[in-house]
Amino acid sequence: MRDVFDLTGRVAIITGGAGLLGQKHAEAIAARGGIPVLLDLPATEPGAVGTRIAGEYGVRALGCAVDITEPSQVQGLLERVLSQFGRVDVLVNNAANNPKVENAVQGEWSRLEHFPLAVWEADIAVGLTGAFLCSQIIGAQMARQKRGVIVNVASDLAVIGPDQRLYRQDGLSEEEQPAKPVSYSVVKTGLIGLTRYLATYWAQSGVRVNAISPGGVFNGQSDIFVQRLSSLIPLGRMARIDDYQGAIVFLCSDASSYMTGFNLVVDGGRSCW
């Protein structure tokens, strides 16, 4: 049987590629022989991340400073990828704003009643509009090629409501308690709609579109937060940073060749409890 997880020579564009999970997605793709192209904001130095991954995995890799909310930058990136590699096979819409309210000292801004319009608009711009623009520009190229894969990175909060008890802090009044931002749930749920739309729109053009809904990754959160969240998860722990790599390779490769329009929930069982 051929290796259906093989990604040799496949060019995979990953938005938010220099972030915590974006780097792991890129490493997983590189480990299977793919060519990761990491897009991120200049401050994250995506070029240096691309160089590191190329060196560590012995593959070609590229990191580019691209603001995915700017269509001209996404178009320019696509042209650069096509001239440098001659193809594009995978798009992972991974970028999002994800303010860590669990670490917030002042959480009042995050409550629905005070939620700033500017934050709402910025979160929608990156997480939803950015995914739409990248899909429109890069997905259209895949449709012309009659081949490609799009993976939208959603969240367990695309399938369940946030449990605001997780974020409570002692000594604060109800009005001051931090809350998971409303924009996060809306962006992630919207991505599932985008996934289904694109999946049926391009089904006859050879472009498969799926989502992955990860649960929370342990990244140095407080003990009390980790305890509270772990108690809501049947597997009894938050995700490790590399827990999603298998699912990403599965969705990006021919291993998922008969799947489109699906949301793969990888949450330690949280949403089934």
Question: Residues in the site for ligand NAD, rule: CB under 6 A?
Answer: 15-16, 18-22, 39-41, 44, 67-69, 94-96, 98, 126, 130, 153, 155, 214, 216-217
Q: Which is nearer to ligand NAD, 126 or 233 (CB)?
A: 126
Contacts of 2 (CB under 8 A, 6+ apart): none
Q: Which is nearer to ligand NAD, 159 or 172 (CB)?
A: 159
Q: Which is nearer to ligand NAD, 145 or 164 (CB)?
A: 164
State the minimum distance, in angstroms, from the CB of residue 256 to ligand NAD. Answer: 19
Strand order, beta sheet including 148-153: 62-65, 35-40, 11-15, 90-93, 148-153, 207-214, 263-266
Q: Which is nearer to ligand NAD, 86 or 220 (CB)?
A: 220
Class of residue 168 by CB neighbours under 10 A (exposed 0-12, middle 13-18, buried 19+): middle
Record the tokens describing residue 215, joined without a space.
Answer: 């649960």
If DSSP codes are grouped into helix, strand and coil, which group holds residue 150?
strand
State the minimum distance, in angstroms, from the CB of residue 41 to ligand NAD. Answer: 4
State the minimum distance, in angstroms, from the CB of residue 215 to ligand NAD. Answer: 6
Q: Report the residue closest to ligand NAD, judged by CB.
A: 19
Integer Cα distance of 113 and 45 in angstroms: 36
Integer Cα distance of 28 and 252 in angstroms: 10
State the minimum distance, in angstroms, from the CB of residue 55 to ligand NAD. Answer: 20
State the minimum distance, in angstroms, from the CB of residue 239 to ligand NAD. Answer: 7
